[in-house]
Structure 1
Amino acid sequence: QGDFVYFFFRETAVEFINCGKAVFSRVARVCKWDKGGPHRFKNRWTTYLKSRLNCSMPGDFPFYFDEIQSASTLVEGRYGNGNAKLIYAVFTTSTNAIAGSAICAFSLQDIADTFEGNFKEQSGLNSNWLPVNPSKVPDPRPGSCHNDSRTLPDLTLNFKKTHSLMDENVPTFFGSPLLSRVSTVYRFTAIAVDSQIKTPGGKTYDVIFVGTDHGKIIKTVNAESADSSKKSLLGCNRGNRCPANERTGAEPGDCPDHAIRHAKGRKL
């Protein structure tokens, strides 16, 4: 998207290692024309940065879904009072924890903002990971795109080598997971989205299809329409009408059942 290529993955969290072993979900990016650096940085990314994706139930003690399983393609639409570019993703708890799955959405703008924020560092082996003072960040800024990355100064490259992790997490676009399931016999494994499907009533919804490790597909609807400021997911069964939902303004029959036809042939 734009000048960058984005990657979504999970990995062992280096910033948590002093407290125990944990897996966090990440989004990383590199410039499309990153050619590597000079000398010993040859054939190595010079613009690689990564941020943590925060998919959690909010509260004084948030409940985290730390392990991303799948992400959708980029979705563009109108949500609430504005337009946004979103990535939907499914997350789970770890395999040795209470079984849980969730759908979270992240905006491309929020992702980009984290990469323009503070870097994170650990000053000593037993030190906490803390944000880097902006005065310590070299110019040109690590992670930014350049006409020829092979001309970047060693100061920028050495900083990037030890500071690829950003300090701020990427927040969920709607403030909390769109759908969560805990203590179930299945977990979410894959996701596909038909975006901005219009209903006969003129409202617009994103229709979401989620695959599970039990071989089933769950169809849900993000009821964040262009004229609604609240969010929810409406569960719809093929051939059935959706119930009225006062929170989201969805009316009976608003569930775009015809979206199944649009999703035909898509891989989960």
Structure 2
Amino acid sequence: GRLFREEGVWNYTTMLLREDLNMLILGAREAIFALDLDDITNDCKNYIRILHKRNDHRMYVCGTKAFIPTCDYMVNGNLNLEGKQEDGKGKCPFDPAQRYTSEIVDGVLYSATSLNFRGSEPVMMRSSEESIRTEFSNTWLNEPHFIHMAHIREGESNPEGDDDKIYLFFSETAVEYDSYTKVDVSRIARVCKGDLGGLRTLQRKWTSFLKARLDCPIPNNNLLVQDVFHLCPGDWTTCVFYAVFTPQLDSSQYSAVCAYKIEDIQTVFSKGKFKAPVPVETSFVKWLMYSGDVPDPRPGACIDNHARKMGFTKSLDLPDKTLQFIKDKPLMDQAVKANGEKPLLVKRGTAFTRIVVATAMALNRASHQVMFIGTKSGSVLKAVNYDGEMVIMEEIQLFEPSEPVKILRLSNTKLYVGSEVGVVQLSISECGRYHTCLDCVLARDPYCGWDLNADQCSTINSTHRTRTSTMIQSLSDGDASRCPQTGICIISQSRHTVCSGRNTKSYI
């Protein structure tokens, strides 16, 4: 891989991929660099802080600016600031150490951060002409740690006439558990893109803010979400969120990856029951499943065909009864469960920090989701799930063990990995590192196959996916029996003894 670092500059933890400009915009402490996507050691020497690409050939830039958050616009071509400074409060954090997240949706910024210097006014906010935000209430957000935001175009070709959603992933202190100590939980929340707030109740506040616990089940472990990546192979109904989790307590050494289907998330928010606060003693409230009548239109729902038939064409039309319900009870009773109700990957040892997921097409044209997972000890894991069996193909140590991976970005065939001390560029298909047919096939890497004609491990491409192909690839069981005879026997990942060219397997 290639390493970029600048003397005296630290915290390389903000990235924006500009494939249209063939640039990686890299944010660091007091410095921003524009790097060549093909070779990140080529630095274009532009010092800026960048957050988002816009649709008008400009980029939207925000920085903490010595605890006075400020935003500006930058022209794509020359990467110069326009000097149109805007107040960045509520758009980016005051403190660069605070986790925050944001997303530009159809030219409008959605953000989740704090509105004040102390971090005591957390908000999820839309910075439109009439800004909309969450309530200042621990029922809505209770000491949150914001992780990821995603726009899912659920309004496209929707039979129910539903709206696009903006999903927010975070952890926060739970209000629903009876405990003498603080218990943090992972959450997913969502709002509707067309939400304009209420007319009297919830004026300029979200009328569609709902949240639910995000479940990634590991027995006797309370895991908290650290990063999320969403992948949509087709339309919005195919979207899957991949999330990495680490323990709340350092006494546990397990990390996990869980996946969540958009349809399962929808079911919880659109059909699930609510939790409600019930006073038990003078100063104690217990959260229980709400079993009373739910107003119609359903609290938290977007304006859809059902609402329109009732005469409600925008959130400003919604009745106070619906709005008061969601103001008091934004928490769902049911958790969003992981796909298959179990993690894709559980690993003991170093904690996971970040994740990105790519789709690889194998030799037999089957698609596989390949996960690249950053760790607290400065390494990146490459893993794929084959019919319920998780295979970790490799772990690459990129930084010193004391330097966690802080950001991952994918661009075509390249992976960019950032930490406090530098950025590394890797190819997602390092097939050349496998020097023998046995190594190549037993790696079970969907990107790689052994080319019998070239006598080397090569990246699979469309010319290899033919009946006359001379490529060897065996992803399901790592069968290397077609490899040329070398007289070498090794133990495969499926615990078989494989002798190249002899088609022999023995269980051990």
Relative to the length of structure 1, the TM-score reads 0.79
The residue aligned with 2:220 is: 63
The one-letter code of the counterpart of 2:358 is: D
Residue 47 of structure 1 contacts residue 143 of structure 1 at CA under 8 Å; is this kept in 2? yes
1:122 corresponds to 2:312: no
The one-letter code of the counterpart of 2:446 is: P
Q: Cα 1:218–1:242, aligned 2, differ >3 Å: closer, same or farther? A: farther
Matches within 5 A, 1:101-140: 101-115=255-269, 116-125=271-280, 126=284, 128-133=286-291, 135-140=292-297
1:220-243 deviations in Å (ceiling 9; x for gaps): 01213xxxxxx1211113544999
Residue 88 of structure 1 contacts residue 103 of structure 1 at CA under 8 Å; is this kept in 2? yes
The residue aligned with 2:57 is: none
Equivalents in 1 of 2:362, 2:179: separation in Å? 51
Residue 230 of structure 2 contacts residue 239 of structure 2 at CA under 8 Å; is this kept in 1? no
Residue 275 of structure 2 contacts residue 289 of structure 2 at CA under 8 Å; is this kept in 1? yes
Residue 242 of structure 1 contacts residue 254 of structure 1 at CA under 8 Å; is this kept in 2? no
The answer for unaligned runs of 5 or more in structure 2 is 1-151, 155-163, 304-312, 395-429, 449-458, 460-508
Q: CA deviation at 1:216?
A: 0.9
2:375 to 209, 212, 222: 212
The residue aligned with 1:233 is: 390
Residue 101 of structure 1: SS of its match in structure 2? strand
Q: Cα 1:148–1:220, aligned 2, differ >3 Å: closer, same or farther? A: same
Residue 242 of structure 1 contacts residue 255 of structure 1 at CA under 8 Å; is this kept in 2? no
Equivalents in 1 of 2:220, 2:385: separation in Å? 22
1:90 to 229, 233, 244: 244
1:100 corresponds to 2:254: yes
Give me the CA root mean square deviation: 2.6
1:20 corresponds to 2:189: no
Q: CA deviation at 1:203?
A: 2.9
Residue 206 of structure 1: SS of its match in structure 2? strand
Q: Which structure is richer in relative contact order (CA contacts within 8 A, separation 6 or more)?
A: 1
1:5 corresponds to 2:166: yes
The residue aligned with 1:150 is: 316
Q: CA deviation at 1:127?
A: 5.6
The residue aligned with 2:97 is: none
The residue aligned with 1:228 is: none
Residue 234 of structure 1 contacts residue 242 of structure 1 at CA under 8 Å; is this kept in 2? no
Equivalents in 1 of 2:341, 2:446: separation in Å? 25
Residue 200 of structure 2 contacts residue 320 of structure 2 at CA under 8 Å; is this kept in 1? no
Residue 369 of structure 2: SS of its match in structure 1? strand
Relative to the length of structure 2, the TM-score reads 0.43
The residue aligned with 2:445 is: 255
Residue 72 of structure 1 contacts residue 87 of structure 1 at CA under 8 Å; is this kept in 2? yes
Q: Cα 1:242–1:56, aligned 2, differ >3 Å: closer, same or farther? A: farther
Equivalents in 2 of 1:99, 1:170: separation in Å? 24
1:179 corresponds to 2:345: yes
Equivalents in 2 of 1:253, 1:211: separation in Å? 20
Equivalents in 2 of 1:212, 1:242: separation in Å? 30
1:47-91 deviations in Å (ceiling 9; x for gaps): 00001111013xxxx3334210000123337xxxxx953111000
Residue 288 of structure 2: SS of its match in structure 1? strand
Residue 47 of structure 1: SS of its match in structure 2? coil
Q: Which protein is richer in helix relative to its size? A: 1
Q: Which moved more, 1:160-169 or 1:84-93?
A: 84-93
Q: Looking at CA atoms only, which structure, 1 or 2, has the larger radius of gyration?
A: 2
Residue 46 of structure 1 contacts residue 157 of structure 1 at CA under 8 Å; is this kept in 2? yes
2:364 to 179, 201, 212: 201
The one-letter code of the counterpart of 1:39 is: R
Q: Cα 1:242–1:132, aligned 2, differ >3 Å: closer, same or farther? A: farther
Residue 76 of structure 1: SS of its match in structure 2? coil
The residue aligned with 1:160 is: 326
Q: Which protein is richer in strand relative to its size? A: 2
Residue 25 of structure 1 contacts residue 67 of structure 1 at CA under 8 Å; is this kept in 2? yes
The one-letter code of the counterpart of 2:214 is: L
How many residues are treated as equivalent by the alignment? 235
Equivalents in 2 of 1:101, 1:85: separation in Å? 23
Residue 14 of structure 1: SS of its match in structure 2? coil
